[in-house]
Structure 1
Amino acid sequence: MWNSSLLINDPIIVQQLLPLTYTRELKDLLIGISTIETKWEAMADRIPSDCHILGSCIPTEELVDALTNQAEDTCLMWQNQWIAYRASTQQHPSELEASQLVKQPLFVAYPEDCIVANNHALRTEIQPNKPDLAVLAECGTSFIAAENCYVDPSATIHGSIIDASQGPVYIGPNVNIQIGTLIQGPAALLAGSTTNLGAKIRPNTTIGEKCKVGGEISASILYPNSNKSHDGFLGNSILGSFCNWGAMTTTSNVRNDLQNVNVYDYTKKDMRPTAVKSFGVLMGDFVTTGISTKFNTGTVVSCHCNISGTDFLPKFIPAFTWGEFPKVLTYRFEEAKRSAEAWINAKNEEIPENLESNMQAIWKAEAKDRN
């Protein structure tokens, strides 16, 4: 039986992944077609019961073999980052004898790592089935390399083109793909998600459960219950849950000079150079944007914001920001809470008991950033 407590948060990585990790643990990060914990749970019978694993680490055959052969009271390291340790009780990894892994494991330390890991997961996790092409053709849908697709029988697909020639495509339970949708693999649309007319889903994209999407989306991850329903571009980006992008909201994902992107880092309280040339926006939960809002390359938007602007918005927007830039105010707490509850209800989800306390923690954490 799987023990959820075996996946451990690393406080530094948690800080580096804010604002996503304000509302979820590392093991709850969405990569590929499932959370990290779901991936480990599928391998529960192969993991020693005293093995404690970095929560943002994605299981691979090489890593699972290393864990199986790991000696007790030792810690597996990759360079200066601990990956897993074996001990009867939870300990600080530095207290154990360290051994270096020979091959770099797949783990998330920074937001841009999520995009890299997503590409790997989509290509390795999707197990094709045999969709009924005749029935789908009657609805006007064409497949390229259908042998690389998983299509749940409950999904509805009308008048669309699914191209899995360059990577697999996953279409989950009760997904509704409307006419004119174009999908290029590797890509996944998880349970209950919907595309609007003419949506363009480009490679390396995961659309989370009960999301509604339209326009152009490329190399991005949308957490459950978010909407980007209209035209506009979303590329190399991560959106938290219960976000809603107004029509024509768009992000840049590449600098005009083609240099590596800089991204705001909570550990530095400043911009951090990355090693990637493409990164759009990192957005926490419960963010809504007005029509034609524009985000520059490498923008970070924290939780519980209601924002818009005709010019490019700042590259860091703290939690509880409200209004049209540059004239913005602090979002009144009770109004932000009512808005969050309204979006939760709209998606037919239950309001969590810790919603208010979580909001208060975020409010306090970024109070200085708003001043």
Structure 2
Amino acid sequence: MQLKVYLFEDVALKQALQPLTQHRSVAELWVGTSSLESKWPTRVSNADQAEIEVLSAVLPLASTFALLDQLPQDSCYVSAGRILAKKGKGTLPIEQPLPFLQHPEELLTYQADFLRAEINGNNPAPGNNTFISAEHIYIHPTAQVQGSILDASHGPIYIGEDVNIQIGTLIQGPAALLKGATTNMGAKIRPNTTIGPGCKVGGEINHSIFFPFSNKAHDGYLGNSIVGSFSNLGALTNGSNLRNDILPVSLYDYLLKAPRNTGIKSVGQIIGDYVTTGVGTNLNTGTVIGSHCNLSSIGFPPRYIPSFSYGEYPALRAFDFEKAFASACAWIKLKNQEIPENLRQSMEEIWKADTSFRN
């Protein structure tokens, strides 16, 4: 696709995709090996410069690019009354259901498609590692991989710049570990998993997406889950991703302000930014945790935890705002990143939006 693309936001979709969009736009959500916005070949920041305008939640798949190339001048693609893309004046509506995100867990639905499309193997020499189907494995020259097993027989594996794979790590493709990510000894990375830039992980992780600069460094299981940025899951934090009765999982929906049946049997946790869990915290199937939470629990806490929740369940209370702000800044500095100028303002907006739920 060679068209100059401008991505526009939909307020209702941004709300529905919370808590992942509390600190970022829809276009900045991660899936596969990068954010949505970075997957568009020719993107401009001003609508006046664009040849085509596209809803930011539209998934930039090869099939999407082909349909957008076919959009006539001064027409728009619509689905159920929502404009998905428009060219020129966009006055002629054409019913065309492009794939687009409506709920957070849908990132996991498309995870394998993006990983398979975006990873090209470079057939690295195994060294002191065991590589299965090495032709489908990419390892950046600056990455360190020691005493590990990488199995790409069922999907490609990407090991990015400055990634450190410690001894005993097991990786099954499709999977991607992005710039500066680290695994602890004996980590188990199972299929359809993305470990974002600057993340440190250990234990067992399956079909999950870690946004940049988050940790789950120690033993514990996480599956069919998404973790926002600058979050830290303490040692032996475990997340269930399957109901005992194997019925479809419900997730709290920020737009509906109520649980929503996903129709999916395997859904773990949707975790916002700047969330920390204590040692041995157990999280139930289909748990949604808002941003800026500091929590621990011996039993299972609620399946919806509002932003700025603090303490050990069942004695959760509001996280003091200044302490939450200081904690967020500390995690940003720990990851050697710059504190955003609008961090306090963004946190204040989240605080106000979730006040009624904390009460």
Structure 1 position 107 matched with structure 2 position 100 = yes
The residue that corresponds to 1:163 in the other structure is 151
Deviations 1:303-361 (A, max 9, x none): 00100001011011011111000012211011001100100000000111001000000
The CA deviation at 1:3 is 6.3
* Structure 2 letter corresponding to 1:99: I
Out of 243, 247, 254, which is 1:259 matched to?
Answer: 247
Q: Distance in 1 between matches of 2:168 and 2:176?
A: 17
Deviations 1:69-126 (A, max 9, x none): 21223221345543211135xxxx8xx432122xx53322111110011111001111
Q: What RMSD in Å do the two structures reach over aligned CA positions? A: 1.8
Contact kept, 8 Å, 1:106 with 1:117, in 2: the verdict is no
The CA deviation at 1:65 is 2.4
Matching of residues 162-241 of structure 1 within 5 Å:
162-241=150-229
Out of 280, 284, 306, which is 1:292 matched to?
Answer: 280
* Structure 2 letter corresponding to 1:216: E
Structure 2 CA distance for partners of 1:176 and 1:42, relative to 1, 3 Å: farther
TM-score, normalised with respect to structure 2: 0.95
The residue that corresponds to 1:32 in the other structure is 32
Matching of residues 1-371 of structure 1 within 5 Å:
6-41=6-41, 49-87=50-88, 96-101=91-96, 105-131=98-124, 133=125, 136-137=126-127, 140-371=128-359
Q: Distance in 2 between matches of 1:246 and 1:60?
A: 35
Q: Distance in 1 between matches of 2:69 and 2:307?
A: 42
Q: Percent identity?
A: 47
Q: Distance in 2 between matches of 1:3 and 1:352?
A: 29
Q: Distance in 2 between matches of 1:158 and 1:105?
A: 43
The CA deviation at 1:49 is 3.0
User: Structure 2 stretches of 5 or more lacking a match?
Assistant: none
Corresponding residue SS for 1:22 = coil
Corresponding residue SS for 1:76 = strand
Q: Distance in 2 between matches of 1:345 and 1:324?
A: 26
TM-score, normalised with respect to structure 1: 0.92
Q: Distance in 1 between matches of 2:117 and 2:42?
A: 14
Higher share in helix? 1
How many pairs are equivalent?
A: 355
Deviations 1:259-286 (A, max 9, x none): 1100000111110001211110001100
User: Structure 1 stretches of 5 or more lacking a match?
Assistant: none
